[in-house]
Amino acid sequence: MATKRRELVVGFALALAACGLLAGSSAHANGRFPASSAVAFSPADEATVLVRVTFGLLLTHDRGKSWRWICERAIGFSGPEDPSYVFTRSGALVAGLFDGLRVSRDGGCTWDPVKTDATVFVDVTSRSDGAIVALASSYDRHSDAGSLYKSQLYVSTDDAHTFAPLGPRFDPTLLAESVEVAPGDPSRVYVSAVRGEDDKRAGVLLVSTDGGAHFTERATKLEPKELAPFIAAVDPKHAERIYIRTSASPEHPTRLLVTDDAGKTYRKLLGAKGPLLGFALSPDGAMVHAGGPDDGLFTGSPDRELAQTSKLKVQCLGRAGDVLWACSSEVGGFIAGSSRDQGAAFEARLHLRDIGGPLACGAGAAAKKECDVDWGKLRGELGLGVDPEVRAEARAGGGVASAAGTIVDPTASARDRGAWIAGMVAVVGGALVWLRARRRNR
């Protein structure tokens, strides 16, 4: 029953649509509520911030005073997929898709494919020397031992113009999930993975001390109902301190773990009743932030369990210097906001009504051709073209006004967005982990 993840995602979404599970006046953006799920910052321009949403990307070049939209089709995908994104040192933007790698060098107007011998990319990250590391992992075949996978790292040292394989393929019994490189030591590369299915599922941390040429396998114990480990971050000053968040199906607890010895032993920093979609570290590693839509925001030292500092419905977290950014929902107060007091209070930086339209691009750009056409439909779905009184009523109640003048809830909590994904996990018998949690949400 196993197959490539991209095909499963599309096929299962189509099946849900046929059953009417993705239909209805309250569903937007490829069957999902409009929501934000990741934030990224350009090293080339501190005023440039990217927010990943369920209907593409939102981009600001003035620290959130104005926002423009980049549609999914311009980037090179459509459907319920949450790509991984990373900025290069020059400000180019790399996207890891279920259909390969794409790079934009003009601020998101055009997206060029990068040739590799892999298709399904599940994570991308940067090294302190400016290189970009990408992780590909997809189903290969079934054997007497169970499902086998093709997982491989790729590296670019030329500003994402080309990517070459980094090290050998991983053990085919491993389904790779995330990759990180230690900020203070580019020779230390970490990959999280899962082996087995159902109650035999086991978490794995792969550790390299030679830049990815060779890896040592270490166990990351999963609790019942947990599906996989994901690397949240590596401490900027302590290369063996790694933060791991676990994923689970909706309605089940997750954890934030930390290891100070590269996976030999672990400590629990946070036990959550729902998904932990956000994680961020201060530049010196002394302050940890984590949270989710069901648990709020937690902050503290890496030396002890974290304490709740806010009830914000966290959908992503990110640090830009001393400023903490968070994704949330309109019900939670904003789509993206920032805090200068470690998350005690947030200033709204982005509401749905703040989207200023498609990114301004030249006539031949993909974003111009694709997004201008889709903008009219999106405005209706988000209620940006309806009666001002209806919009005011919707905002007062924490909702969004639809084009028909009705008010819908766009909160997109983990349970809302995770329902169809949990079904997919059940269909494939646990071979694939929860897609919503598998992407980097920080």
Q: What is the dihedral of CA 290, 316, 129, 109, to 10 degrees?
A: 180
**In the prediction, which pLDDT does 80 show?**
86
Helix axes 414-427, 5-19, angle to 10 degrees: 110
Indicate the domain borders of the chain.
5-357+420-438
Q: How far apart are CA 357 and CA 348, in angstroms?
A: 19
Q: What is the pLDDT of residue 33?
A: 77
Percent of the chain with pLDDT over 90: 72
Residue 276 has pLDDT above 90, yes or no: yes
User: What's the pLDDT band for 331 if we cut at 50, 70, 90?
Assistant: confident
Quote the CA–CA distance of 101 and 402 in Å, as a whole number.
Answer: 34
CA distance 175 to 337: 34
DSSP code, position 210: S
Q: How many CB atoms lie within 10 A of CB 216?
A: 11
Which amino acid makes up residue 118? A
Please give the Cα distance from 99 to 338 (Å, whole number).
33
Per-residue pLDDT at 426 exceeds 50: no
* Chain segment 103-152, per-residue pLDDT in tens: 999 999 999 999 999 999 999 999 999 999 999 999 999 988 789 999 99
Q: What is the pLDDT of residues 85-108, one digit of tens each?
A: 999 999 999 999 999 999 999 999
Rounded to an integer, what distance in angstroms lies between the CA atom of residue 64 and that of residue 96?
Answer: 25
Q: What mean pLDDT value characterizes the chain? A: 84
Assigned architecture for domain 5-357+420-438: 7 Propeller (2.130)
Give the model's pLDDT for residue 30. 55
Between residues 417 and 186, the one the model is more confident about: 186
pLDDT in tens, 186-215: 999 999 999 998 888 999 999 999 999 999
Phi/psi of residue 85, each to 5°? -130, 145
Q: Which residues pair with 154 in a beta bridge?
A: 134, 165
The DSSP secondary structure of 141-167, one letter per residue, reads EEETTEEEEEEEEEEESSTTS--EEES
pLDDT for position 383 = 79
Question: pTM of the predicted model, to two decimals?
Answer: 0.84
Whether the predicted pLDDT of 8 surpasses 60: no
Q: How confident is the model at residue 411 (pLDDT cuts 50, 70, 90)?
A: very low
Q: Are 192 and 215 in contact (CB under 8 A)?
A: no
Q: How are beta strands 164-166 and 146-156 bridged, if at all?
A: antiparallel
- Whether pLDDT at 21 is above 50: no
Q: Is the pLDDT of residue 439 over 90?
A: no
Query: Which residues in 238-254 are b (16+ Cβ under 10 Å) and which e?
Result: ebbbbbbbbbbbbebbb
Q: Give 24's pLDDT tier (boundaries 50, 70, 90).
A: very low
Per-residue confidence (pLDDT) for residue 382, from 0 to 100:
84
